[in-house]
Amino acid sequence: MKNNFCIAVLPGDGIGPEVMQQAYKILNILKDKCLLNLQFMEYDIGGIAIDKYGVALPQKTLLGCQKSDAILLGSIGGPKWQSLPDKQQPERSALLPLRKHFNLFVNIRPSILHPELKNLSPLHSRITRFGFEILCIRELTSGIYFGNSGNNLNQELQEYAFDTEIYYKFEIERIAHFAFKTAQKRKKKIVSVDKANVLQSSKLWRRTVEEVSKNYPDVELSHLYIDNAVMQIIKHPNTFDIILCSNLFGDILSDACGMLTGSIGMLASASLNENNFGLYEPAGGSAPDIQDKNLANPIAQILSIALMLRYSMNLHELSDAIYSSVNTALKQGYRTFDITDNTDYISTDQMGDIISKLFIKEV
Ligand code: NAD
């Protein structure tokens, strides 16, 4: 089994560098104690890269990512760069090109309700008492965000604007195959979400997912319209395992599922291509409101490493060990400010130290 990996580390802006410091603690344990030959190289991205080089995704960063097995990203953007023209905005000019360059068509977002954090969920306790663990698998490089769009907003005639949802069959097939293969390693259950009662692209989506499912007879497939899916996820989140969605529906549903767990500071995300090359990052942004205060929750960044070990490196036991360390820290009562109701919380650094110590015991 391969055990030498190179990781491109991109801390980025805002709380990115603070939470990445905690991720380094885990990376160093993986390197020193787990017989992994890990190399990590750090590169600039986002606002900090604009300040240094005038572009959010410098060539050196892109080349560094190309030479790596995976990318570990912090977060990008902030008020300092908000007044730049649309095309130069850090997220738009760094994140989207990165996804496109590496053809990261799969986006994975686990939403896990930790038993210790049930009180943070906006859902009623009669729903949260069952817990839930939903994996949202979203198509990331096609659909309405990439179709033809336009407007005549500056005309004297009636103004209009349009966006087009377009899906090629192969784009649906490849994300569906990924979802079914993932389902075989979990509860063998997929809910595919669409709007096939109205949209042509959804009709193709549903038919194609049905066809792909024939290759995976051990996986149970059902379909929900997006409006019903939202209702059912709020009402019975524990009945879902994998949710398979288009780019637009996945964008919305993954945030909705995430919010049901309590804090964005707990949510990691992975974007992958067909070779399992991946970009791993927290689901949240650069959180300028808590930047440089040692307040940010580092768990999302640490769990990004767990996803990287699982999906790009095939090291499932080490991935589980990270999840287990985080669970133990929560069970032992350690909380950052975003996951507690009282003032008895610990800092970003302290949470990083505690999880690292628990991780050393696990490995
Ligand atoms: P945000 O996710 O940065 O913050 C929303 C709220 O969540 C804030 O109150 C913040 O303090 C909190 N939060 C986020 N991460 C947290 C953590 N780890 N621990 C504790 N609390 C946390 O969203 P926003 O305020 O809308 O955006 C701020 C900047 O981030 C903007 O410039 C936006 O463009 C950028 N952004 C970047 C990414 C990315 O890098 N992928 C994603 C979303 C937003």
User: Residue 32 maps to which CATH number?
Assistant: 3.40.718.10
Residue 176 in any domain: the answer is yes
Distant-in-sequence, close-in-space partners of 35: CB < 8 Å, separation ≥ 6: 3
User: Residue 243: its pLDDT value, please?
Assistant: 98
User: Residue 153: its pLDDT value, please?
Assistant: 81
Per-residue pLDDT of the chain (363 residues; tens, 9 = 90+): 788 999 999 999 999 999 999 999 999 999 999 888 999 999 999 999 999 999 999 999 999 999 999 999 999 999 999 999 988 999 889 998 999 899 999 999 999 999 889 999 999 999 999 999 999 999 999 999 989 999 888 777 788 999 999 999 999 999 999 999 999 999 999 999 999 999 999 999 999 999 999 999 999 999 999 999 999 999 999 999 999 999 999 999 999 998 999 889 999 999 999 999 999 999 999 999 999 999 999 999 999 999 999 999 999 999 999 999 999 999 999 999 999 988 889 999 999 999 999 999 999
Nearest residue to 72 via CA among 29, 37, 21: 21
- Give the residue, by CA position, lying nearest to ligand 1 atom 12: 287
Same domain (yes/no): 43, 6? yes
Cα of 24 vs centre of ligand 1, distance in Å, is: 21
User: Residue 341: its pLDDT value, please?
Assistant: 86
Residue 111 in any domain: the answer is no
pTM: 0.94
Structure tokens at 71: 């990318």
Catalytic positions: 145, 195, 227, 251, 255
Same domain (yes/no): 243, 275? no
Atom of ligand 1 nearest to the CA of 78: 32
Give kind and range of the element (H or E) at residue 10.
strand 4-12
Same domain (yes/no): 79, 66? yes
Same domain (yes/no): 235, 274? no
Same domain (yes/no): 297, 167? no
- Give the residue, by CA position, lying nearest to ligand 1 atom 10: 287
Q: Which residues pair with 161 in a beta bridge?
A: 151
CA–CA dist 219, 242 (Å, integer): 11
Q: Tell me whether strands 149-151 and 37-42 are parallel, antiparallel or unpaired.
A: unpaired
Cα of 16 vs centre of ligand 1, distance in Å, is: 10
Residue 346 in any domain: the answer is yes
Last residue of a domain, one of 260, 281, 297: 260
Same domain (yes/no): 271, 256? no
Last residue of a domain, one of 245, 260, 275: 260
Ligand 1 first shell, C-beta below 6 A = 15, 19, 75-78, 91, 95, 264-265, 281-282, 284-290, 296-297, 300, 338
Residue 110 in any domain: the answer is no
Residue 332 in any domain: the answer is yes
User: Residue 262: its pLDDT value, please?
Assistant: 84
> What three-state secondary structure class fits 99?
helix
pLDDT digits over 70-96, tens only?
A: 999 999 999 999 999 988 999 889 998
CA–CA dist 338, 261 (Å, integer): 12
Q: How many domains does the chain have?
A: 2
Same domain (yes/no): 195, 269? no
Same domain (yes/no): 49, 78? yes
Atom of ligand 1 nearest to the CA of 288: 28
Domain that holds residue 197: 122-260
